[in-house]
Structure 1
Amino acid sequence: MTVHYVSSRDFSRDPSSAKKAADDGPVFITNRERPAHVLMNIEEYRRLTAGRKSLGELLAPGPELEGIAEIDFDPPRSQFAARVPDLG
């Protein structure tokens, strides 16, 4: 796997060569000499993200929580009183 770098200007002029280079490894598209984006082929992307869940999937209750009663949560009230600013 070879890592390639291409400026955003060169990418705009010739995106097909960057796509060809992405078959060999990731292509970092730079903006003012700093990496700004990465181009990779879809097979590599799928390999990197295989088995990962989205944040929504991680937070959603799943079958492992079936049958568990809801948890009561009653935190103590704050002792701090809100002040009303004097605008006069």
Structure 2
Amino acid sequence: MIITTLTSRDLNQDVSRAKKAAKDGPVVITDRGKPSHVLMTYAEFERLAGKHRDLTVSLAMPGLSDIDFAPERAGIAPREIDLA
């Protein structure tokens, strides 16, 4: 992963450069010499934010058929009710 650092002025002058650099890794934007913001792709943001997948999409992932999964059946019995 490549980390690019740009000043706020550089960002304002060449936004397309910053967007291209974000494809290779985070772009740290400095303000008066100190890091103030980070630019990243939306896909990277979703990955870091832990976007939840649909269960059906997760179960359809390649390689899952190789996993041995045989859970025991849960034994749930009704309770006796005293109506007296």
Coarse TM-score class (shorter-chain normalised): 0.5 to 0.7
| Pairwise CA distance, 1:51 | 4.7
Partner of 2:38: 38
Map of 1:2 onto structure 2: 2
Root-mean-square deviation over aligned CA pairs: 1.3
In 2, distance between residues paired with 1:51 and 1:14?
30
Cα distance in structure 2, aligned partners of 1:16 and 1:33:
21
Report the TM-score when normalising by structure 1.
0.56
- SS of the residue corresponding to residue 37 of structure 1 reads strand
Output the CA distance in 2 between the equivalents of 1:51 and 1:21.
23
2:38 is aligned with what amino acid? V
SS at 1:30's partner residue?
strand
**Count of residues paired in the alignment:** 52
Query: Can you give the 5+ residue segments of structure 1 that lack an aligned partner in the other structure?
Result: 53-88
> What's the TM-score once normalised by structure 2's chain length?
0.59
- Structure 2: runs of 5 or more not aligned: 53-84
Residue number in structure 2 paired with 1:49: 49
Instruction: State the partner residue of 2:27.
Output: 27
1:9-53, CA deviations, whole angstroms, 9 ceiling, x for partnerless residues?
01000010000000000000000110011000011100000158x
Cα distance in 1 for residues equivalent to 2:16 and 2:30: 16
Once residues 2 and 50 of structure 1 are traced to their aligned partners in structure 2, the CA distance between those partners, rounded to angstroms, is 22
